[in-house]
Amino acid sequence: MAIPVVNLADFLSGDPQLKQAFVNQLGKAYEEVGFVAVKNHGIPDELIADLYKYVQQFFALPSDAKKKYEIPGLAGQRGYTSFGKEHAKGSDAPDLKEFFQFGQIVEDSDPIKSEYPDNVHVNDIAAFNTTFTKAYRAFEKSGRALLQAIALYLGLDEHYFDRHIHNGNSILRAIHYPPITQEPKSAIRAEQHEDINLITLLVGASADGLQILTKQNEWVPVTSLPEQIVVNVGDMLQRLTNNKLKSTTHRVVNPPREMWGTSRFSIPFFLHPKGEMSLACLESCIDADHPKAFPDATAGEYLDERLREIGLKK
């Protein structure tokens, strides 16, 4: 399935017609599909290449070395999470993956700093943390522009999301799906799920496998070209818009048998607001045909509930 492609340069061009066309394209895609591919996204190719290089070096470390970066009590929100710890909501089967998470770096005097644990410093790979910091900021910048377009599509002020995502609780996650060494119990590497956050930005995975569930209830593979990133709606944005924008169900399937001996790497950026942001359905998205579908909650309350459901928090 060719997912809709949008050009972020149009939104940032300063041309009102190009900007409005981008807003319309993005909003329509998020109402109908929930996923878009974004070109001219502003994240440098060299940075993406470095990110994948250091991520592959990290996951190639011996288990004992990686375990040093697994910190109890952080619910996987920073540092390393070993194989089989996380599962999809509603599923008991662990996903066939290990991952590393890197979070917000508060550089001003915002008191929210006290709410975030420090990032885990990887000593084994010299440029690991500096590369993750650069990538985190690049993803934030692109994500902010996309949320500005979404705000305009919803009839909100263009900068509606800006203050909520400044020093927000976003996560850059590096995922490794190891080679399959024996007949798997399931054809699924990561069970079907929706993302928790506002939007997810994904730089091309190292292998195919991502599938989305269409409105016709069919699983279709998602592929993006090397110069594109895939960006999907998460549950927080779906709640805020009272189901107007769709949080798309997706999964990662096992490769064909001849590819079992290969690893798959994937690096999504989960764009979260600060925990205090209200996710109460926007009044403009509620009417007689679309009654309010969700109880009021803050982003922090909702995140906490979901981390328990997927097994990262007890």
- Residue 244's pLDDT band, with cuts at 50, 70 and 90, is very high
pTM to 2 decimals?
Answer: 0.92
Q: What is the pLDDT of residue 90?
A: 62
How far CA 92 is from CA of 85, 124, 145, 213, in Å, comes to 11, 34, 37, 21
Cα dihedral: 110, 112, 116, 120 (round 10): 0
Average pLDDT rounded to a whole number, residues 253-277: 88
* Chain segment 268-293, per-residue pLDDT in tens: 999 999 999 999 999 999 999 999 99
Using the structure block, give the residue that is written with the tokens 């109402």: 31
Q: pLDDT over 70 for what percent of the chain?
A: 90
- Residue 93's pLDDT band, with cuts at 50, 70 and 90, is low
**DSSP percent split of the chain into helix, strand, coil, nearest 5:** 30, 20, 50
The domain 5-309: what is its CATH number? 2.60.120.330
* Chain segment 42-56, per-residue pLDDT in tens: 999 999 999 999 999
Q: What is the pLDDT of residue 206?
A: 47
Q: What is the pLDDT of residue 177?
A: 87
Nearest to 201 by CA among 233, 241, 227, 248: 233
List the domain boundaries for the chain: 5-309
Query: Does the pLDDT value for residue 40 go beyond 60?
Result: yes
